[in-house]
Each structure stands twice: as C-alpha cells, then as structure tokens.
Structure 1
Amino acid sequence: MVLTHTPVCDFGIPAPDFNLPGVDGRNWSLQNCRGPRGLLVMFICNHCPYVKAINHKLVRDTRDLIALGIGCVAIMPNDTDAYPDDDFEHMREEARRHEYPFPYLLDESQQVARAYGAVCTPDFFGYDAQLGLQYRGRLDESGARPDAGEVRRELYLAMKQVAETGHGPKHQIPSMGCSIKWRQE
C-alpha cells in the first residue's frame, strides 16, 4: 500500500466522458450519471483500507447529495489480475453489502482513471451542473480510521455548495489513499 495525495482542484476543467459496465448489469455513461445540479465521480476499490474506513459515510453522504440533485458514481480502476479482491464479482458483493445508492463501475482498461487524472482510492471529483470541476478534495479528516467519530463532512458540504451556487469552496484539502494499481505495460 502506497499512500498518495490528490492534486489541487483545477477549477472548471470538463469531466471526461465514459461508458463503463456497472455491477447492476448495465453500462453507464457520463450523461446517465449526472444529476440536474452536478456530478460526483469517485474512484474507489474494495481492498483499500482508506475506502473500507469510509464506506458507511460514503453511502450516507451520497444519499444526501442525490437528494440535492447531485448524481453520484463510483469507478473501480485497479488491475484486477494483480488485485483479485477488486474484480467484478467482488465489486458486486461490495455494492450489495453496503447498499451503494450509486452505480459502481469497472474501468478495466484504466483509460477513464487516466483521463480523469485519478491517483488514489478514494479520489473524488465534484462537478457543477455544466460538468466543470469544482471539488477535488477529501471526504473528511478521518483518513483510514473508521472510528474517527463525528468530523466535518467536507465532501458533502462542498458538493452542497456546488448544488446551491455552482461553485466549489476555494479551500480544499486533498484526499489521501492507496495508489491506484496500474497494469504493468
């Protein structure tokens, strides 16, 4: 496990398109996932301790964001040959276990993760209604500690602001997590 931090938000950069298979049996595109007030694209996986620690908060926050008109989608970018716990069947089990309220998609080619510039799991990209980037920060300060207690809901509050104003907060703290497991070329 290599700890990685995300870069600073590049405000306004457009969301790259995608068309990926979901654990629900259908393919999902950028247009299918967006909400009327924006879109949250999350790069997560099954085995990462940082993702495991926040899964319950991810479900809570995305449910609340969906109610505000923010579409939410999670994409699994890791090399599943090297990390079989992240394969499609395990993704399906993970989505069912946590009752993900968002599509959970497999980026087998890793082209979508590269197009977004994703570097770790979890990695969050928050877009406005026109699909311009407004947030590239963390979920909250808990990191890999599932028992961190009540902490400020940074991702939720940032995306709530995007839903209400179209703009993300100027101050954003980078997400941190395990590096994406890229295929060896």
Structure 2
Amino acid sequence: MASGLFLSALVYCFTAFAAHAHSGDGYGGGFVAGFTHPILGWDHVAAMVAVGLWGAFLGAPAVWILPVVFPLVMAFGAVAGILGIPIPAIETGIALSAVVLGIMIVFAVKPPIWVCAVIVGSFAVFHGYAHGTELPTTVNAFAYAVGFVVSTGLLHLIGISFGILVRWPAGRIAVRGAGGLIAFAGIVFLTGVA
C-alpha cells in the first residue's frame, strides 16, 4: 500500500502543473484553498515527499523530527509572505529543495540531525513564503494555513510510508531511485522545461 501511495504521488509530480499551485486562485474556502495549494504543484509535492523519504532513510529520530521542522518553519515563511517581507528567488529555492533533498537520498547522505533540520528548515521558508504570498484575499488566513500544513504533513507521510522500505536491500535501492526521480523533477522545474 505504501509503495502504491508513493507511486501515485510520483506520477502526480510529473503530471501536475506548477503554475496551478502558484496562480493565487482560491479553491473553495480557506481550508480547502490551503489544503489544495501544496498538492496542485509537483514542485511542492516532490520536495515534501522527499522530506519524509529522507527522514525514513535516516531513521529515528530524523523520521519524525524533519516532518515536524518543515511545517513549523514553513508557517514562519508563510507569515513573511503574507506580510510582504521580501525574500528573493522563491521559485528557485522551491526547485532547489527537490534537487538537494533528492540528492541527499540518492547518495545516502547522513549528516548530524541538526544539519538535516537546518537544510529542511531553510527550504521550508521558500515553500511557506509561496503559500503566504498566494493567500487568496477572500479566504480566512488561519483556515488556509491549517489546510496547507495538513496537506504538507500528509505528503510527508507518503514519503515516510515509502521510505520504510529502506529496511530491506531492494527497498534501499527503490528509495534511492525515488530520490533520483525527485532530484530530476527539481532540475526540470529549475531549468524551466516544465
């Protein structure tokens, strides 16, 4: 089941349109708009699944710390976006998050947990900022924030579910391969091919 969920997420990563997630359009009420925003762009999906995958690859305590750090820091990035605090290169940072996290998985990089948290938290700022700047004016900001935090958590869980396969030799290969696909997706977005 976990591999099916992950495969579905990867297929979605390559078929979703990034521009959809960055259009600023609201889909329903505040919660619905926030919930759908991360899942309507493959750049967000790839990076958020990668956080769960890398956490699972690293094992405890990273498997739980990284998926908590990301939405917490992402919320601060969203506030910066809502307030209009300028942060440069948001789309580049989002694309780089998929590239870097994917590479960490491919090469089984295992830095100290605080380094992992800094890497994940740094990229979370870019994702949160994108969510914050694209807050539809007609929705409740709190409900919107709850929606994008919940969907982010679910994307992390998809990554963790697939990442649990690292317990077996073939599973480690599959997880590292998924990291390669995520890094490739980030490169595609970074170069503007998609």
So what's the TM-score if we normalise by structure 2?
Answer: 0.29
- Structure with more strand by fraction: 1
- Structure with more helix by fraction: 2
